[in-house]
Chains A and B, each alone.
Chain A
């Protein structure tokens, strides 16, 4: 299957919008499902490669757990720490193998983070469909 990806500038714009909408988001990244960063925006220094690889491992493991235990598929994954929350989701319905990872401060409402994640994913999905239609 050929891989269809939205352009990196498009992904960066979507991530910029996400960070602009919420000061509490500290980092956002589109990672490829096999663990490499495709586009990222961080407010502070983070280990990009490790973040991308871990995002891919976490999503794959969560998928496996849901599939094995409940014959279900993953929508999103939430990890909460004392100071941060991490939300990971697949760019749903996409032919492109992208994962969206968002690191936010703990006090930021989960609903807000999920809403921003959905908007950001939708933004690049629309771009992907437009680019895929152009290509065909």
Chain B
């Protein structure tokens, strides 16, 4: 079996998408980061303006994950059109260390609501070993506010095992909650 699964990482600026793909990829990641020119430069030097790309080989003969990261700002929402074809699922990262974590999540969910409703989705709380129960609940509320249903889980986006585990969650969602298997797999 040599399946290829295309996964997209989304989330507010600074939630860890670029770091995640750089840490996980078996190939040198493709990056489109540029220096920030707005208020974001107070918290980070660069921001993604097109996409990040990397690949992760699954153990054994279980195929490959193609990892795409989208820009966090809603002005780049058209980039979803670039990655939509054959998309297997989405992981929305939440920066637990940020005061604006929920606002960032809410903006991402609102911007991409229609697309996220049609693919397996996981919300992953990043940058915290033990995120509070309250943060998890607020993430669920943000999902419900957009009419979305998805598991909310903690992860370290730099750890391969965590991402593989999320991929397995996406697989389970596809099996039990979504009925577009043929559309959901890239070849």
Residues of A within 8 A of B (CB): 1, 3, 32-36, 49-50, 52-54, 56-58, 60-61, 63-64, 68, 97
CA distance A34 to B32 in the complex (A): 10
Which A residues touch B37, using CB under 8 A? 3, 32-34, 36, 97
How many residues on B have C-beta within 8 angstroms of the other chain's C-beta atoms? 20
**Whole-angstrom distance between the Cβ of A45 and the nearest chain B Cβ:** 18
Stretch at the interface among B72-80, B106-114, B147-155, B162-170: B72-80
Considering only residues 77-94 of chain B, those with a C-beta below 8 Å from chain A are: 78-79
Taken together as a complex, chains A and B put the C-alpha atoms of A36 and B39 apart, in Å, by 12
Of all chain A residues, the one with the shortest Cβ separation from B34 is A33
Cross-chain contact B35 with A50 (CB below 8 angstroms):
no
Is there an interface contact between B30 and A68, defined as CB atoms closer than 8 Å? yes
Measured between beta carbons, the chain A residues less than 8 angstroms from B30 are 64, 68
Cβ of B33 to closest chain A Cβ, rounded Å: 8
Most buried by B among A1, A3, A34, A60: A34
Main DSSP-derived SS at the B contact region: loop
Q: Does B76 lie within 8 Å of A53, measured CB to CB?
A: yes
Contact A97 B79, CB 8 Å, known A56-B49, A60-B49: no
Please tell me if B31 contacts chain A, counting CB pairs below 8 Å.
yes
> Does B38 make an interface contact (CB < 8 A)?
yes
**B interface residues, Cβ below 8 angstroms from A:** 30-38, 40, 47, 49-51, 71, 73, 75-76, 78-79
Which of B32, B36, B73, B78 is most buried by chain A, counting CB atoms within 10 A of its CB? B32
Minimum distance in angstroms from A80 CB to a CB of chain B: 20
Closest chain-B Cβ to A98's Cβ sits at a distance in Å of 10
Q: Is the Cβ of B76 less than 8 Å from the Cβ of A61?
A: no
The CA-CA distance from A53 to B40 in the complex, in Å, is: 16
Residues of B within 8 A of A97 (CB): 34-35, 37
Q: Determine how close the nearest CB of chain B comes to the CB of A7; give it in whole angstroms.
A: 15
**Top 8 A-B pairs ranked by shortest CB distance?**
A60-B32, A57-B50, A53-B75, A33-B34, A61-B50, A56-B49, A60-B49, A60-B50
What are the residues of chain A within 8 A of B36 when measuring CB–CB? Answer: 34
Q: Are A36 and B32 in contact (CB under 8 A)?
A: no
A11 to B78, CA, bound (A): 27
The docked-state distance in angstroms from the alpha carbon of A52 to that of B49 is 11
B50 touches A34 (CB 8 A): no
